[in-house]
Structure 1
Amino acid sequence: MRLIIKRCMSQTSYSVIESSFPEDIITSGDYESAENLLTKKSIPSEILAESFYRLGNRFYSSEQKEAAELAWKKSRELTDITSEFASITVPVSRNQKKYYLQTIGSVILLIVCLYVFIFTLFPREPEPFQFTTFRSTSGELSFWDEWWNTGRPVTRSMRQRFGPEQLWPMLQRTLENLFGTQNDELSEDIREKLKRWLELSRKPQFSKGPTDYYALTGRGLFEAKEFEDALSTLNDGLHYAESTEQLEQLYQDLGTVYYYKGYKLQPNGLAKYDLDAVRNSVKSYEMALRFGEDPYLYGNLGWGYYLLGDYSSSIESSLHSLALKPDLNYARMNLGIAQLKKGDYELAFSAYASLKQHSPGLDEYEGGIRDLRELQQEFPGLHPFSNFIMGLLYLQQGRHKEARTAWQKFVSQNFSEPFWQHRARLLLKKMETE
C-alpha cells in the first residue's frame, strides 16, 4: 500500500458522496448520470468542485478517459466560478475619491513617522535561515531593502523558534518568492495542493504540532514536489530541534519525502520505485523510531521493508502498527502481501480476510489491488496466489464479475498447493448458483 500521511482535514463528506455512485456508472463512463447525481445534492461549490475532480479520477482509473476529462473540466469551471464570487468588491463612488486621497496622504505621513521611530529605537530582525539554492547568494539588496536596513543593527541569534503568529507572514513571503520566480510552470494540481497546505497551516489546531520554520517549509516544498529542497530544509531543521517529539516528526517527514522522491507512477496507473530512495526512506523512519512510536511510522516502515525484500522485518513492523491501531487497513494489507511473498498463504489469506471487519474504504481496496498488480507486473506468473487474493478483495466489495475473473485465472495456473485451487473452484461454483 502507499504511505499514509496524517492530515487534519476529514474525508468523510467526500467518501459519502463517492459511495453514492453505482459501480456500473463508473465502469461504463456514463458521465451524464454521474453529473445528475452530483448536481441534485445540496452541497457547497467548493465540495462540489472537489467531488467532480475525484469523479474524474475514478473514471480515469476505470479507463474511461473521455468521461474523466468531462468531470475534470466541470471541476475547473466550478472552481473558477467560486474564485470569481470571492473576488467581487464593492466599487467606490466618485464622491468618496477625494476623501480616500486625503486618507492615503495621511497614511503615508504616518508610515514615514513610524519608520523614523522604528529606525531609531528597534534593531533589525534577522533572516530566519537560507533554506534553498533559490535564495540569492550575491548579497545584493534592492533599493528599498538598502534604504530600510541602513543603520539598523542586526540581531545575531539564530536559535529563535517561531510560533504560528510569527511564522505565517515569513512563510508567505518565502514561498511567494520561491514559486513566483523559479516555478512558473507548476501544474494547477500542484498549485492547488500548496494552497490547501497553506490554508491548513492557518488553522488553530495546527499549533498543537511542530511550528518550526524548517518543518513547515519542508512540507510546503514536499507538496510542490520540490523533493531535493524539501530534504535539504528538513535536514537543516534537525540542528534546531529542541525535543524528541520534534526529532521524531522531522525524521518521519524525511522518510516520507525520500519515499515519494523514488515513487514513479507509470501510464498504466502502477508504480515503480527507486530502491536507493526507498532505502534512505527506511533509514529515516528507523531514526524516527529512536525518538517515539507511531502506528503510521510502523506501517510505512512495513511497506519500505517489503519493497527492499526484507519480508520478515516488514511483517514485524506491520504487526507493531496493527497492535497500536487495529483499524489501520493499509498496514493490514502490507502484512498480507509480505506473507504472500514469503509463501505463507494461510497467513496471507487471514490478513486479507480480516479486512472486512474494519470497513475499508474504496481507496484502500484499490490501493491493495494495485499492490498485487505491481507484484504480478514485476514477477509475471511467479505468484499465482495473488489472483486468489484479488478475487477475495473484489468479493468483499461486492464486485462479483471481477472476483470471478480473478479466480478463473487462478485455477488455470500451476500452483503448488491444490487446496487453494479447490477452494477457488468451490467459490466459483457457489457464485454460479446464487
Structure 2
Amino acid sequence: MTIKNEVNSKHLNLILQAIKVLTDRTASLTERLDKSLKMILEGIRANNGSIMIANEQGTELTVLASTKKHIINKKQPVNPKSISGKSFLSQKPVFIQDIHQDPDFAPKARPENYLTSSLMSIPLISVGDNSSYGVVNASDRHDNTCFEPGDLELLMDYSTWISPILQNSFLMDVLSQEKDRYKALSSELELKQKQLITANTQRSELVQMVVHDFKSPLSAVISNLELLSYIGMTEEQKPVVSTAQDGSQKLLEMINDFLELARADEFMESTEFQDISLKEVALKEVDIARPVAKAKNISLELISDKDVIVWGQKKMIHHLVSNYISNALKYTPENGSVKMSWKLKKSTRLTDKYPGVVTFCVEDNGEGVPDDMKQSVFDKFFRMKKDVKIQGTGVGLYICGRIADMLGGKVWVEDANPCGSGSRFCATMFSRKDNDAQQ
C-alpha cells in the first residue's frame, strides 16, 4: 500500500467514525457535533476549531460546537472581512497558510487573535439549494507549522459528509421539539376539555335542579287556580283567574322546555347506542299522543307497516319521534290529519358508517312553513310570528336537530303538498342492516 493510499484510508476511516458519532441519536446534537469535531481536528493536528450555523436570514453565525467552550452559542455578524464570513458568503474554502502574508487578513493578524499563522474555514453547503448554511473552522496546529493541502482535503471531505447529516439532525431536533410542544398542547387541551365537560355537567345539573324547584310551586299555583275555578267565581274574578291560568300554563311549558334542553345535553354525552325497533318507538309515542289528537279530532296515522331497525340511543329516538308528533299536533287544525312514515334505503355515500339509511317523516295538513323559514325552524328558540297563539318556546325542533347530528343524520322540513300547504318534517338515521332496503 502506498503512503498516499494509506493517508486516504486513514482519512476515510476518520470521516466514517465522525459520521457514526453524528448519527448516534442517544446523544444530543451539541454533544455529537463536539465529539465529531474533536476527532477531525485531531486528524489534522489542530488545537482549535468550531462549527458555526447561520440564521434563516443569513446575516448571523452562531457557534454550535467549539474547542473553546466559552464561545459556544455566541453570535457573530456575517462579515466578508472575517475568515468565516468570507467562506460563508463565497461558498468556497478559505485556506491561509500564513495570515501575515495574506493581503485581506494580514492587518488583523494580532497575537491575541491567532496563535499561529495558518487557518482554514470550509462552508457547509445545503443539499437542497446549494447555498451556505454554516462553516467549519480550524486553527492553531499542534507543532506551530502550517496546515497542508491534505489537511484542507480532510476538512472539506468532513464538511461535505456532515452537511446532509447535520441538516437532517437539525430537522429531527425541530420535529422532536414540535412533537414535545404538541404533546404538551394536547395534554393541556385534554385537561381543558375535561374541565369544560365537568363545568357543563354541573351547569346542566344546576339548571335542572333550579328549574325543577320552580316547577313544584308553579304546579301548586295551577292546581289552586283550577280549584278556584271549580269552586266558583264572580264575573269580575273570572277574567283575572283565566289570565293567571294562561300565564301559569305558559310558564310551566317554558320550564318543561328548559328541562328538555338540559336533557339534550345528557343525550350528547351518551354513548349507549344499540339496535332499536323504530316501529316499537313510533307505536308507543302514538299511544302517548292519542289523547291530544282526540281532543282536536285529529287523525293520527302510522302509514309504514314494516319495521326497521335503527342504530342509536333509545331515549334519543323516543325524544325525536315525540317532538315531531307534538309539533305536528300543535300546528294541525281541528279535524286535520297527521301521518307518520319511514323508508329504508341503501347508502350510496362512502362517508356513511352503515349500509342502511332510514328517512323518518311526520306529515301534517296545517298551514305549512314558508320557504324563507325552512332552515330557521330548527334554530334554538325560533318562533314564527303566526305562532303567538300556540304554546311553546321553540326548543323542540332544535333538540331534534341536535339528536339527528348525534345519530349521524340530518333534519329538514318540506312542503307536504305542491301548493305549499301542510308540512313534512323529516330526519335521517342509520341502520346496520340493509335487508329489504330500496336501491
Q: Do both share a fold (TM > 0.5)?
A: no
Rg (Cα) greater in structure: 2
For the aligned pair, the TM-score class normalised by the smaller chain equals under 0.3
| TM score, norm. by length of structure 1 | 0.22
Judging by fraction of residues, say which structure has more helix: 1
